[in-house]
Chain A
């Protein structure tokens, strides 16, 4: 058989169908302010923001091997920067969100230089120490309310848009936009040259380094990009909450534990995993939340069982059975129908 009888392609039938469906769902979601109620929109905003956080954590842990339990450092930092830039800097909230991302990037550089000295699991606890340092430091800033926190002044909230429903719609679109932006960036990043390097590192660090990939640099770029986007998500989260305090901003449970559970249950190291995990997480929460602490115990048990029995999560299980990819990342070789028989 000649080489011509095979074709190499990225997309598959499944990914084309998924892309078409994705566009339809996205159009429906953009139109939500016209068909959904106020409470539904709030819930959906929260879902989008968690989806964004989960996709970012997955990029770090699932692809770059940087397992952080301290991402709340950047969520809280972004939130506080939103408050500081709007209250003291007089910036428009939308500009302040971008500013929070920029400052997050600036702060993450020395942080990365310091904690990249720790390996593996020690890196994880190191990130937590950084988050604690952030929490204790912001608790010392009396201009931002110290340990008890502060609220976003009414004038700043009003400057967002005219009228309550316009503000709520804008806030919803921002959350949706953040989720789309994060997933699209992660997707494009993974398809790029640097993303290929990252996937190689994920599969075998030694082999990747012998092919000339600068591992430290690649991981560093991932860390800084993740910190930037996480800080912007943090700013959005606290733009919705309108109130910030050190304990809420740097909560390890809210911004890291839940996010880890989402990624582990959905499937770590895949783009689809965080999406499925977020849906499962919120389904569980909406049905079991009345149980209070029992709900969190159930969540912890589910995460442990998934990690031990199906370490690749729900999506890993599906992919192994049916060999489908919704996001065309890799290349596949298929025998072409024509030209096989001369």
Chain B
């Protein structure tokens, strides 16, 4: 039963990792940009949530109402102000600029919030649980998993059922022809980054309720998100959810064997997938 418990808890943890990964997957899908600062932006959302909770005293989940639009605005400004200037055939500029951004963000957090680990207090939600068939499932992990499914379904809907999604797919397929058809790719990229950071805001707040975070917590979140994307297969949002779940299960099962193996087991699961299926489990041909 312990093992079943580890697998179920790992699956629920995978929901959080899928949320880390969804934003990364979205911006790669639309503009082929890999954002090294993605993890730090997740932590930024957590710190913004913390600030809202402390100053207004609202519940962390309600703080999302402010943090999501704030992160979306930051995303649009970031894309149009800096990242659009790095896009092109050379992969070096976006990589190094987002790497520089990551270092800047981490040190801004240090300056503003000190190196102490912080956490958002969500009251009873943190400890509440429901009993299902002999297992005790935390309400927060269940909620996180449900939100992850809703977010991915929502992104899938935006991508394939709306005009905005059509614009995303058009600039992704061919930027120049999309421009000729009257789309402003700079604006579309800005909107894609805004959407990605709105998802990041949800992930950041849920992270901040679940565990404590500090200014350097971003690197590990980037890596988990990235691993979920690669395991699931590039460009496949539902695959990303499966990738997150595999990563989460590997970590909880690893921790069950020896607490020291928790993170290592996740990375090794990723490396095994990379060795056996280099394109991930469910790659989409057109990526």
Bound together: yes
Chain A residues packing against B (C-beta within 8 Å): 61, 67, 69, 114-115, 117-118, 120-122, 124-126, 128-129, 132-133, 136-137, 139-140, 252-253, 257, 260-261, 264, 268, 293-294, 296-297, 299-301, 303-304, 307-308, 311
B residues near A299, Cβ cutoff 8 Å: 103
- In contact, A136 and B263 (Cβ under 8 angstroms): yes
A residues near B219, Cβ cutoff 8 Å: 128, 252
From B51-59, B196-204, B266-274, give the one contacting chain A. Answer: B266-274
Q: How far is the CB of A123 from chain B (nearest CB, A)?
A: 9
- In contact, B227 and A129 (Cβ under 8 angstroms): yes
* CB closest chain-B residue, reference A136: B264
- In contact, B82 and A120 (Cβ under 8 angstroms): no
Question: In whole angstroms, how far apart are the Cα atoms of A120 and B34 in the complex?
Answer: 9
B residues near A304, Cβ cutoff 8 Å: 82, 97, 100-101, 104
Contact of B34 among A61, A125, A133, A264 (CB under 8 A): A125
- In contact, A297 and B260 (Cβ under 8 angstroms): no
Q: How far is the CB of B147 from chain A (nearest CB, A)?
A: 25
Q: Does B111 contact A (CB under 8 A)?
A: yes
Q: Does B96 contact A (CB under 8 A)?
A: yes
19 A-B residue pairs with CB within 8 Å: A67-B92, A67-B96, A124-B95, A125-B36, A125-B223, A133-B268, A133-B271, A136-B260, A136-B263, A260-B96, A261-B100, A264-B96, A293-B107, A294-B107, A294-B111, A296-B103, A297-B108, A301-B100, A311-B93
Sorting the interface of chain B by its residue count into under 10, 10 to 19, 20 to 34 or 35 or more gives: 35 or more
Across the A-B interface, the 5 shortest Cβ-Cβ residue pairs: A121-B34, A300-B104, A117-B278, A293-B107, A300-B103
- In contact, B103 and A122 (Cβ under 8 angstroms): no
Q: Does B238 contact A (CB under 8 A)?
A: no
Question: In whole angstroms, how far apart are the Cα atoms of A140 and B220 in the complex?
Answer: 18
Q: Does B85 contact A (CB under 8 A)?
A: yes
Q: How far is the CB of A275 from chain B (nearest CB, A)?
A: 19
Interface code B248-287, partner A: CB below 8 Å = 1, 0 otherwise?
0000000000001101100110110011001000000000
Question: In whole angstroms, how far apart are the Cα atoms of A299 and B107 in the complex?
Answer: 11
A residues near B222, Cβ cutoff 8 Å: 125
Q: How far is the CB of A71 from chain B (nearest CB, A)?
A: 13
Interface of B is mostly: helix
B residues near A261, Cβ cutoff 8 Å: 100
Question: In whole angstroms, how far apart are the Cα atoms of A294 and B106 in the complex?
Answer: 11
A residues near B260, Cβ cutoff 8 Å: 136, 139-140
* CB closest chain-B residue, reference A293: B107
- In contact, A307 and B103 (Cβ under 8 angstroms): no
A125-B34, A300-B104, A300-B107 as given contacts; A308 in contact with B93, CB under 8 Å: yes
* CB closest chain-A residue, reference B94: A121
Q: Does B145 contact A (CB under 8 A)?
A: no
Q: Does B20 contact A (CB under 8 A)?
A: no
A residues near B5, Cβ cutoff 8 Å: none
- In contact, B36 and A124 (Cβ under 8 angstroms): yes
B residues near A268, Cβ cutoff 8 Å: 92
Question: In whole angstroms, how far apart are the Cα atoms of A253 and B268 in the complex?
Answer: 23
Known: A293-B108, A300-B107. 20 other contacts (CB 8 A): A114-B274, A121-B91, A122-B230, A124-B34, A128-B219, A133-B267, A136-B267, A140-B261, A257-B103, A293-B107, A293-B110, A296-B104, A296-B107, A297-B103, A300-B100, A300-B103, A301-B100, A301-B104, A307-B96, A308-B93
- In contact, B264 and A308 (Cβ under 8 angstroms): no
Interface code B106-121, partner A: CB below 8 Å = 1, 0 otherwise?
0110110000000000
Contact of B267 among A132, A139, A297 (CB under 8 A): A132
Q: Does B99 contact A (CB under 8 A)?
A: yes
Contact residues of B between 58 and 116, Cβ < 8 Å to A: 82, 85-86, 91-97, 99-101, 103-104, 107-108, 110-111
Contact residues of B between 218 and 247, Cβ < 8 Å to A: 219-220, 222-223, 226-227, 230
Question: In whole angstroms, how far apart are the Cα atoms of A253 and B103 in the complex?
Answer: 8
A residues near B264, Cβ cutoff 8 Å: 133, 136-137, 140
Contact residues of B between 115 and 133, Cβ < 8 Å to A: none
* CB closest chain-B residue, reference A124: B95
Q: How far is the CB of A332 from chain B (nearest CB, A)?
A: 26
Q: How far is the CB of A117 from chain B (nearest CB, A)?
A: 4
A residues near B104, Cβ cutoff 8 Å: 296-297, 300-301, 304
- In contact, A128 and B223 (Cβ under 8 angstroms): yes
A residues near B34, Cβ cutoff 8 Å: 120-122, 124-125
* CB closest chain-B residue, reference A253: B103
Q: How far is the CB of A305 from chain B (nearest CB, A)?
A: 9
- In contact, B275 and A121 (Cβ under 8 angstroms): no
Contact of B86 among A67, A297, A300, A308 (CB under 8 A): A308
B residues near A69, Cβ cutoff 8 Å: 36, 99
